[in-house]
Structure 1
């Protein structure tokens, strides 16, 4: 028995920590909190497109001293050439199925023409389209997400070089209410990048233009259809 006591005493002297550990209660430590990756859900976008202009209703007015042809006449045989567009925007993915963005698109000059009383009028026009849009994403399959959307905003149109063979009129830009309908699909390339392929219909309210010589151009029933391709970048 004395030998056992001697061994225990020597163990306590040589390994005091073990003795204290035997007397300490078992204390558990909580694991550190997991690091959460930050995602803003904000995105940037850029798009290019090809635009088919539906032929609007055009009329000229405002008789001038130079040319009596600028009377209050509606043009017949109106044609409006196609054009291209390029734009940018930013938005936010509010939920898995709802997105909002604001876009600004420039449409290149498009030639137009029409005639009345044997006189042919021709010119060109370019425009800006500014829209606030909402989209409904319809689910994702193999990285492809179809969507539908709608937008409201304004369009700024600038007719230029409008002439009847004698008089040429350049008009100041005018802005009017505009709205659009969209449909398409996005294709995920990575967690941050997606390609967007879509269709957009845009309608613009009636516009009345006037130059310094009081020549007038009235535009009614403006609308267009557009095929667009672009990219979206989700900001981390």
Structure 2
């Protein structure tokens, strides 16, 4: 009797195992699928490239005119000059690259204009009879403008509260242009009375006196010497010349956003020199040598903007996993 009960229990356990095993396998197949792989890192577009634009105002140092200017041959001690280049403005654009967080460079092109060239010379001439001196002056005017191309490098010195101080330098070429240049000159000296006390020549109405050349200045009724002035003008052709240019920069940049920055900067810019074309006088046909304007130096205050072209964008999503279909379980036979 006990033996029969043992066989019955064994058959029951075997039947339960055969029925439960497929259910456990199916339950295992219903577990959630593994998580998808992580997204790819963002892709950078544009790198460190940026665009820039600048506008500003300029003040020029006193320029130097070459010796072919209307200076006379008198000693420098008897001459004084008042040469200058009027203030002006400029505007430019450029493209650059941010190499590291502290180093960047760009190439810029700009157009500059000035209120004009101004030159003056006052000189004391020789003394004449009775110790009366002479004097003269030359006044020149002209137009000046320039196109400048520079390659620049900057060092950003760190950022505090969105403000980045920087320094830099640049070198390039200036296409300087001068036009409408001319000089008005005046020479003032005592008037002279000729001595007609020499014997007369000819007869009747044809009689005239031969003046002597030992002349003396003319004095008015009050004993003051009488002076007279002679004026003449010179005109020069327009000309454009190239010259080496270089610059020094210092300023502050403000981060409006990560990609958009505004700059306030000072720049020293040396534009080299420029010559006029040849000149002429109204009274003469002889060509006059060109006038050279040297040491053209500008002090610029400018406002600039920079826009960084580079940025991060999300990588494309990975392909979706196929719909999960659990594997069919084993066939269960019922007894």
TM above 0.5, yes or no, is yes
Is the contact made by 1:51 and 1:84 (CA closer than 8 Å) also made in structure 2?
Answer: yes
Stretch deviating more after TM superposition (103-112 or 70-79): 70-79
SS at match of 2:145: strand
CA-to-partner distance for each residue in 1:11-47, whole Å, 9 max, x for gaps?
334454446799xxxx998544323433510100000
1:205 aligned counterpart, secondary structure: strand
Structure 2: gaps of 5 or more residues:
1-9, 122-135, 185-232, 280-286, 311-335
- Which has more radius of gyration? 2
| 2: CA distance, partners of 1:193 / 1:47 | 14
Q: Specify the alignment match of 1:65 in structure 2.
A: none
Which consecutive segments of 4 or more residues in structure 1 shift more than 6 A? 70-75
Distance in structure 2 (CA, Å) of the matches to 1:150 and 1:220: 22
1:107 counterpart = 2:116: no
Question: Is the 1:58–1:75 Cα contact (8 Å) retained in structure 2?
Answer: no
Aligned partners of 1:104 and 1:115: how far apart in 2?
A: 33
Instruction: Could you tell me which runs of 5 or more consecutive residues in structure 1 were left unpaired when the two chains were aligned.
Output: 63-68
1:97 equivalent in structure 2: 102
Q: Which residue pairs with 1:133 in the alignment? A: 152
Q: The residue matched to 2:109 in structure 1 has which SS?
A: strand
Give TM-score, length-normalised by structure 1. 0.84
Contact 2:239 2:275 in 1 (8 A): no
| 2:48 counterpart residue number | 41
TM-score, scaled to structure 2:
0.61
Measure, in 1, the Cα distance between the counterparts of 2:268 and 2:73. Answer: 30
User: 1:71–1:8: structure 2 CA closer, same or farther, 3 Å change rule?
Assistant: farther
CA distance in 2, matches of 1:19, 1:234: 54
Report how many residues are paired. 227
Root-mean-square deviation (CA, aligned residues, Å) is 2.9
Is 2:59 the partner of 1:52?
Answer: yes
Query: Relative to structure 1, is the Cα distance of residues 134 and 75 closer, same or farther in structure 2, using a 3 angstrom cutoff?
Result: farther
SS in 1 for 2:90: strand
Matches within 5 A, 1:157-172: 157-165=176-184, 166-172=233-239
Higher mean alpha-carbon deviation, 74-83 vs 223-232, is at 74-83
Equivalent in the alignment of 2:309: 235
Contact 2:157 2:165 in 1 (8 A): yes
